[in-house]
Amino acid sequence: MAKKSLIQREKKREKSKQKYQAFRKYLKEEMSETLSIDKKWEIQKQLQSLPRNSTPTCIHRRCFLTGRPRANYRDFNLSRHIPREMIHACLLFGVTKASW
């Protein structure tokens, strides 16, 4: 189980991302449309003035149940441990453990 503070930090980053997402998109569109270098510098300064945690790249996927930040399946939003435990407990039908 992940520390509660790390999970809360990720939630705070997600809120910050949602808050500044539209403005960031607007600035990036403006930058792609303008031809003036001076105007692009101004837009770049505005982008840099936004909070660092509001960037989409700062956000990590975490397991829905355990909060584990690594080895997550995107489709299920679970870490690799959870489906494995479910298979061993016979909760997922039709799945067998591979052995060779």
Q: Which domain CATH number covers 55?
A: 1.10.287.1480
User: Could you tell me the sign of the dihedral formed by the alpha carbons of 65, 68, 19, 37, in that order?
Assistant: negative
Domain range spanning residue 30? Answer: 4-88
Q: Would residue 69 count as lying in a domain?
A: yes
Q: Would residue 93 count as lying in a domain?
A: no
Q: Would residue 100 count as lying in a domain?
A: no
> At residue 45, does pLDDT exceed 80?
yes
Q: Would residue 33 count as lying in a domain?
A: yes
C-alpha pair distances (Å), 1 with each of 6, 29, 62, 88: 11, 40, 11, 20
pLDDT number for residue 39? 94
pLDDT number for residue 43? 93
Distance CA 35, CA 63 (A): 43
Q: How many domains does the chain have?
A: 1
2 or 34: which carries more pLDDT confidence?
34
Residue pair 40/31 in contact by the 8 Å Cβ criterion: yes
Average pLDDT score over the chain: 87
pLDDT number for residue 41? 95
Q: Would residue 99 count as lying in a domain?
A: no
CB within 8 Å of 88: residues ≥ 6 apart: 97
pLDDT band at 100 (very low <50, low <70, confident <90, very high): low
